[in-house]
A and B are shown apart, each in its own frame.
Chain A
């Protein structure tokens, strides 16, 4: 099917009026002087005043040539029409292990003509169930939304999934297709999955390292100091490993003595309340990570000496930080000493910024200062930047247009505050979803059927054969141009030259 990428260019078709008018317009005829028109006047044949198309073949060639050129402007493509009518897809979660009734159903659907695809980005075709037990849980809702957009309305989707909780991220989509939800066992099996989440050196030189051990199965995700029942923990001075019930040993995990996180909170003497709230949040945020914290709280005095090797410096002061801090390697966080706006607002984190999920729902804001510049992390609900970060040659510089004070915002009172501080200070310490093997209840997981948003229907389906018609059109246009030249030349050759030019030619000699 011929489609045009820039159909607006078809407006240029108005140039067709040009050759049409030229062919309607009558050339002034050549003049011949006769001794007498007596015999011509007797002739009552066709006169020349009628409006008619002249040289129709030439006109046709010119019109088609122009149409081709205009089509080239409109960027023609040949697209195989997508398969008409509803389609039937069978979508296999890579963590699904169809057995028993679900496998019977799988085979039945395949026999009924369902196309089997794997629920990974791109939705590739497959024929057999997945076998990789270490496959991560897919982003199920996103993939289902993608599959649904590719299919015409009324298609059928059969989804084989164990529905791990980790796979159900975000908002459950509304799909246009008919969905058959088939629960399968998890490929990872029912045995609990146990891993060492983190280790930290022994408190005493002679002791063994302390480990936080995570374990997960279809119903539980647990973090504890000791391994679950049946598992054993073997520790030496610097390493630690887990022993499964069947004496299968996991590899030794070496414990690195990690350096503590050094945080410095410097504040004006009259702002102890801000510093107290902030310090409390920092302590509770880092505590759960088992990373040692080296937190110093101090009011700003003249001749302040900035200690070296500080990871974070919170500067809660009206004065600008001294050069030793400004040019230090640590991340510097500054707030705003004076409020310029008391309009009630909200702290709205930008999507995909650290702690954005933690701060949902938004936190109320009472006072704020002038808008800082830099990469925006938060806005105040009116689109005015609230928290920004700028990169300097020394380290990131954070600018907060408010204060960590209960009178300024609700932030110090919310439970989200330590979570957000943690995402700021320890961005990599959030446990991933790869160890989460909990399964969702079927009633919780099944996507609802509803009319999809109209924008989805504009997505182009997969497997569309789309070819650029650039060259065929150019070739055709070139051929037509040659034809047009030939026709035009022939026309000129068939019409004798005007009398005037004949008179100038060399006269013949009569014998």
Chain B
């Protein structure tokens, strides 16, 4: 399954909702089986057996009575909360100079991904929330029981512009994550936190902010969004590099600097992997922006099921 991402659509914020639906609906037909059926606590309905249904769920007693195969279904309290943490710092506005994503900001892709995740979550009946880190602020759409969380999230996303840098103080984010968590949820609720970030931090403030989540009941997926420019570093000759977050400027010969930069990035990625890999509840995925976005969504779905 591949999703066609029209870059124009992706670039226009007004098309965000449409693009997110387009991206997500491709995944929806396969989702039926993942609905939590089976061991019912509350009976919901019988439904005719269809090829592909687990034979264990066939109600054999009913078969004995009616000589037909029925599958016993029951509504399960999913009680799952999806929180999308979107890195909206200034570094997310980096654009690719080569590859299919040329000219588009990393933030555009991240925003689309966030919207698609929200749509998927809503379609699944999950509680969906959004926490965007914009500089020192955290813009939140709490995962309450709104009727249309997707629409609210879309509107919030449309207004976002990347700015500032990841706050050194993790408390605003923690507060946002925990505040409504306490109010809304009982202890049984599963919480999945999807972090969409480019991984650029100046110290280890991002990891410091997310680390406490590991100690709680959160399941955490970190999508490390990497542009083609960061992978290939396609610059030659004298270049004036400008840091999007600090405004710092550095002039250097790109060809001479390339090996050191690529090695440094690799080491950085490795440190992320080392810090976040391994644990079942925490997943780190490096995600290339010049590739289709659906694997990210599929990864969430796998995690959710």
Question: Which residues of A pack against B, CB within 8 Å?
Answer: 26-43, 45-49, 494-496, 499, 502-503, 507-511
A268 and B72 alpha carbons, distance in the complex (Å): 164
What would be 5 A-B contacts, judged by CB atoms less than 8 Å apart?
A33-B241, A40-B257, A41-B250, A502-B102, A508-B100
Tell whether, in the assembled complex, residue B250 and residue A40 are in contact, meaning their CB atoms are under 8 Å apart: yes
Tell whether, in the assembled complex, residue A37 and residue B102 are in contact, meaning their CB atoms are under 8 Å apart: no
Tell whether, in the assembled complex, residue A38 and residue B242 are in contact, meaning their CB atoms are under 8 Å apart: no
Q: Please pick, from B235, B240, B290, B292, the residue contacting A28 in the complex, using a CB distance under 8 A.
A: B240
Tell whether, in the assembled complex, residue A39 and residue B241 are in contact, meaning their CB atoms are under 8 Å apart: no
Q: Does B101 contact A (CB under 8 A)?
A: yes
Most B CB within 10 A of own CB, among A34, A37, A48: A34
Q: Does B25 contact A (CB under 8 A)?
A: no
Mask for B185-203, Cβ within 8 A of A = 1, else 0?
A: 0000000000000101010
Tell whether, in the assembled complex, residue A34 and residue B242 are in contact, meaning their CB atoms are under 8 Å apart: yes
A174 and B6 alpha carbons, distance in the complex (Å): 101
A511 partner residues in chain B, CB cutoff 8 A: 2, 4
Q: Please pick, from B2, B97, B103, B250, the residue contacting A37 in the complex, using a CB distance under 8 A.
A: B250
Contact residues, B230-283 vs A (CB, 8 A): 230, 235-246, 248, 250-253, 256-257, 260-261, 264-265, 268
Q: How far is the CB of A499 from chain B (nearest CB, A)?
A: 6
Q: Does B106 contact A (CB under 8 A)?
A: yes
A509 partner residues in chain B, CB cutoff 8 A: 6-7, 100
Q: How far is the CB of A441 from chain B (nearest CB, A)?
A: 90
Q: Does B74 contact A (CB under 8 A)?
A: no
Q: How far is the CB of A47 from chain B (nearest CB, A)?
A: 6
A507 and B230 alpha carbons, distance in the complex (Å): 19
Q: Please pick, from B104, B230, B248, B256, the residue contacting A46 in the complex, using a CB distance under 8 A.
A: B256
A32 partner residues in chain B, CB cutoff 8 A: 97, 235, 239-242
Closest 8 CB pairs of A and B: A39-B264, A35-B91, A510-B100, A43-B260, A29-B238, A36-B200, A45-B256, A37-B243
Known contacts A46-B256, A507-B7; A502/B104 CB under 8 A: no
Question: Which residues of B pack against A, CB within 8 Å?
Answer: 2, 4-8, 91-95, 97, 99-104, 106, 198, 200, 202, 229-230, 235-246, 248, 250-253, 256-257, 260-261, 264-265, 268, 290, 292
A499 and B235 alpha carbons, distance in the complex (Å): 11
A49 and B244 alpha carbons, distance in the complex (Å): 23
B94 partner residues in chain A, CB cutoff 8 A: 33-35
A194 and B230 alpha carbons, distance in the complex (Å): 116
Tell whether, in the assembled complex, residue A42 and residue B260 are in contact, meaning their CB atoms are under 8 Å apart: yes
A48 partner residues in chain B, CB cutoff 8 A: 238, 251-253
Tell whether, in the assembled complex, residue A510 and residue B240 are in contact, meaning their CB atoms are under 8 Å apart: no
Tell whether, in the assembled complex, residue A38 and residue B256 are in contact, meaning their CB atoms are under 8 Å apart: no
Tell whether, in the assembled complex, residue A34 and residue B260 are in contact, meaning their CB atoms are under 8 Å apart: no
Tell whether, in the assembled complex, residue B241 and residue A40 are in contact, meaning their CB atoms are under 8 Å apart: yes
Tell whether, in the assembled complex, residue A35 and residue B198 are in contact, meaning their CB atoms are under 8 Å apart: yes
A37 partner residues in chain B, CB cutoff 8 A: 241-243, 246, 248, 250
Tell whether, in the assembled complex, residue A38 and residue B202 are in contact, meaning their CB atoms are under 8 Å apart: yes
Q: Please pick, from B92, B239, B265, the residue contacting A30 in the complex, using a CB distance under 8 A.
A: B239
B253 partner residues in chain A, CB cutoff 8 A: 45-48
B292 partner residues in chain A, CB cutoff 8 A: 510
B8 partner residues in chain A, CB cutoff 8 A: 507
Q: How far is the CB of B167 from chain A (nearest CB, A)?
A: 16
Q: How far is the CB of A39 from chain B (nearest CB, A)?
A: 3
Q: Please pick, from A28, A495, A507, the residue contacting B237 in the complex, using a CB distance under 8 A.
A: A495
B230 partner residues in chain A, CB cutoff 8 A: 35
Tell whether, in the assembled complex, residue B198 and residue A510 are in contact, meaning their CB atoms are under 8 Å apart: no
Q: Please pick, from A30, A38, A47, the residue contacting B264 in the complex, using a CB distance under 8 A.
A: A38
Known contacts A39-B264, A39-B268; A45/B251 CB under 8 A: no
Tell whether, in the assembled complex, residue B252 and residue A43 are in contact, meaning their CB atoms are under 8 Å apart: yes
B6 partner residues in chain A, CB cutoff 8 A: 509
Q: Please pick, from A30, A34, A45, the residue contacting B243 in the complex, using a CB distance under 8 A.
A: A34
Tell whether, in the assembled complex, residue B240 and residue A39 are in contact, meaning their CB atoms are under 8 Å apart: no
Known contacts A32-B241, A39-B261; A510/B92 CB under 8 A: no
Q: How far is the CB of B201 from chain A (nearest CB, A)?
A: 8
Q: Of all chain B residues, which has the CB nearest A47? A: B252
Known contacts A42-B260, A45-B256, A510-B101; A35/B244 CB under 8 A: yes
Tell whether, in the assembled complex, residue B240 and residue A34 are in contact, meaning their CB atoms are under 8 Å apart: no
A38 and B244 alpha carbons, distance in the complex (Å): 11
Tell whether, in the assembled complex, residue A496 and residue B236 are in contact, meaning their CB atoms are under 8 Å apart: yes
Most B CB within 10 A of own CB, among A31, A37, A495: A37
Tell whether, in the assembled complex, residue A31 and residue B261 are in contact, meaning their CB atoms are under 8 Å apart: no
Known contacts A32-B242, A496-B236; A45/B100 CB under 8 A: no
Most B CB within 10 A of own CB, among A30, A35, A39, A499: A35
B290 partner residues in chain A, CB cutoff 8 A: 510
Q: Please pick, from B240, B243, B256, B260, the residue contacting A36 in the complex, using a CB distance under 8 A.
A: B243
Tell whether, in the assembled complex, residue A34 and residue B244 are in contact, meaning their CB atoms are under 8 Å apart: yes
Known contacts A41-B250, A45-B256; A31/B102 CB under 8 A: no
A508 partner residues in chain B, CB cutoff 8 A: 7, 99-100, 102
Given contacts A34-B244, A36-B243, A509-B6, could you give 11 more A-B pairs where the C-beta distance is less than 8 Å? Answer: A29-B239, A33-B243, A34-B94, A35-B244, A36-B200, A37-B241, A37-B246, A503-B95, A508-B102, A510-B101, A510-B290
B229 partner residues in chain A, CB cutoff 8 A: 34
Q: How far is the CB of A145 from chain B (nearest CB, A)?
A: 70
Q: Of all chain A residues, which has the CB nearest B90? A: A35
A360 and B244 alpha carbons, distance in the complex (Å): 101
A16 and B140 alpha carbons, distance in the complex (Å): 65
Q: How far is the CB of A333 from chain B (nearest CB, A)?
A: 91
B235 partner residues in chain A, CB cutoff 8 A: 32
Tell whether, in the assembled complex, residue B264 and residue A42 are in contact, meaning their CB atoms are under 8 Å apart: yes
A45 partner residues in chain B, CB cutoff 8 A: 252-253, 256-257, 260
A34 and B100 alpha carbons, distance in the complex (Å): 18
Tell whether, in the assembled complex, residue B264 and residue A502 are in contact, meaning their CB atoms are under 8 Å apart: no
Q: How far is the CB of A256 from chain B (nearest CB, A)?
A: 100
Q: How far is the CB of B103 from chain A (nearest CB, A)?
A: 5
A29 and B251 alpha carbons, distance in the complex (Å): 8
Q: Of all chain A residues, which has the CB nearest B235? A: A32
Tell whether, in the assembled complex, residue A31 and residue B240 are in contact, meaning their CB atoms are under 8 Å apart: yes
Q: How far is the CB of A110 from chain B (nearest CB, A)?
A: 75
A187 and B28 alpha carbons, distance in the complex (Å): 130
A95 and B76 alpha carbons, distance in the complex (Å): 143
Most B CB within 10 A of own CB, among A30, A48, A502, A510: A510
Most B CB within 10 A of own CB, among A33, A36, A496: A36
Q: Of all chain A residues, which has the CB nearest B101? A: A510
Known contacts A37-B243, A42-B264, A43-B261; A495/B236 CB under 8 A: yes
A304 and B30 alpha carbons, distance in the complex (Å): 145
Most A CB within 10 A of own CB, among B97, B101, B202: B97
A49 partner residues in chain B, CB cutoff 8 A: 251
B202 partner residues in chain A, CB cutoff 8 A: 36, 38
A26 and B256 alpha carbons, distance in the complex (Å): 17
Q: How far is the CB of A43 from chain B (nearest CB, A)?
A: 4
Q: How far is the CB of A495 from chain B (nearest CB, A)?
A: 6
Known contacts A29-B240, A35-B200, A35-B245; A40/B261 CB under 8 A: yes
Q: How far is the CB of B212 from chain A (nearest CB, A)?
A: 24
A156 and B91 alpha carbons, distance in the complex (Å): 93
